Structure 1
Amino acid sequence: MTTISQRTALSPRHLTRAGERLSFVYLERCLVHRDANAITAQDADGTTHIPSATIGTLLLGPGTRVTHQAMSVLADSGAAVCWVGEQGVRYYASGRALTRSAALAEAQALQWANTRSRLAVARAMYQLRFPDEDPSGLTRKELLGREGRRVKDCYRTQSSRTGVPWHGRHYTPGDFSSGDPVNQAITAAAQCMYGIAHAVVTSLGCSPALGFVHSGHELSFVLDIADLYKTELGIPLAFDIAAEDEEDIGPRLRRALRDRIHETSLLDRCVTDIKRLVLPRTNNWHTADGDDDTVTVQSDDGLHLSAGRNHSPEPGTAGGAMTW
């Protein structure tokens, strides 16, 4: 078998676009290994092969063990990997961007570094969630206040629609079972959406840490993106699942969410939303995650020069460059 060190790294041309992948795959109580460019899940019932390049996020539940080779192929395929627990605890994730271009990362950093453009993106995020309102001119405090009221209204509306009693949002980190069934469903939906958002953010080459609403955490931008679909997708589905049955809330919510994400083409929409948010002033946002695998060095006046060359002037000349 070819060793990891001898394998050629996959280029963006060989990888499945983020919008065309499975939203997430959940595994538990199995050994996760690799076979060529697929991962394998081995348990008492046998071995299942899953092409790594088709996975957006791999959720590893209780009782899973994963090999170094499996993690290597998942990283090269741009898949996010998250460890999840029956108590709703999930934090670790990894993956490699599907693009080699820094265009989106640089655009995100540029928007984030300016306080006015950062607020403009936060307003655009609010309008994506609540298109019936015009947030232009609102301060951050006003945005947070309106967002809080809209989310509370969503909880009350879904409670009335499904007949599920609602006594407020209650979640104790690390203690999934402390909440009532609908709170458990909301938590499970949120955890899955965080994993999916993380997969799309990293696959596009953006920074998970540079958030426009959230801040101070390495996943701030991930939380921003996941929240875009909370009142539209996560909360209503959580109430639907809680209304059906109070047993097996987590597994049933995951299956229902996976189906709903597929039905609504959410991954493709998420990719489009991120590009439009961080590239609002350009006309080529749809090509920003292309196959460009070029490294340049920065010069004066915004000029980019070719890398891999020595840019010291030749003796006796006013300028120029020579190769290493």
Structure 2
Amino acid sequence: MATPFQLSDPAVPELLRARMLDRVEERLRGLLAAEHSATRGADPRAVTPIRALADQVTAGGERTRATLLLTGYLAAGGSPADAQVIDLAAALELLDTCHLIRGDVRENVPLRRGIPTPHVGHAAEHERNGWRGESRRFGEATATLAGDLAVAYADRLVAGLGGEARAVWDQLRIARVLGAHAEAATRTEYLDDPWPLGCLEGCTPGCAAGWYAVREPLLLGAALAGRPDLTDEYRDYAGRLHAAWRLRGFLDSGAASDWHARMLCEILLGREEKDRTEDLIMRLVNEADRALAEAPLRSGWHRELVSLAGRLVLAGAW
């Protein structure tokens, strides 16, 4: 029999969150498997968007938003036994998957998490079978419906959410849609600037990965734990963490960066500028630490939030 967790154990935070993330994974897989099974008998064609969504959800990923939500929730004193936080974390992952699918359609991304994106895969299926109409449009329509389905399932999971948590969730839903449009518009109008220093002052609605990627999951955790007193500390922590992460992504110019960002990084940033940016990243991580210094968190969780910030910024991609 497993030994029960003692909340004073310094090893507990990461292990406790890992167990809850396993439950989130089980919730996602169970939900999609049940929907596939229930739908297949009624109309085999109707399972296509379910399968497209399931392929993307189960292909992997860091589950960063679920991790932030659970960390903020547990640090605020939330009960690990509460099933609602598991549903909320699963809903966050579904919402993120929806916007990944739709973003991949807009940018015609061929692969995501090592597998073909839904619009590409289903366009190829249409072409192989010689079906009527235009293959590209069929693929894009299927992907869009898979995204719609992800939002519908997310809304079902959070149906019982109330109070401040509901307000944060609703704001997140709106911010992601408006942010996606603003990002597309700024790129179309040649107004996008890959240098993310503006994140130090606060993201514009067109930020490709706005503060809501970090801030809202943490605020949802605090709200669900009944701790609105942590709002300011979590906001300050999230702002600095997000800015450090954006700078790290630009500096590394990884595969997730577009050609414009990679070109600017290589051409405009010499060794001295890169060193200054590295110093700035470390300063932001330290400021994220200090933002939580006086926060009344559960024992051991201040250290875990600081450690999480370091790991996320080091990874450079969410």
Q: Given the two structures, how large is their TM-score scaled by the length of structure 1?
A: 0.30
Answer 1 or 2: which has greater helix percent: 2
Greater relative contact order structure (CA < 8 Å, 6+ sep): 2
Answer 1 or 2: which has greater strand percent: 1
Q: Given the two structures, how large is their TM-score scaled by the length of structure 2?
A: 0.31
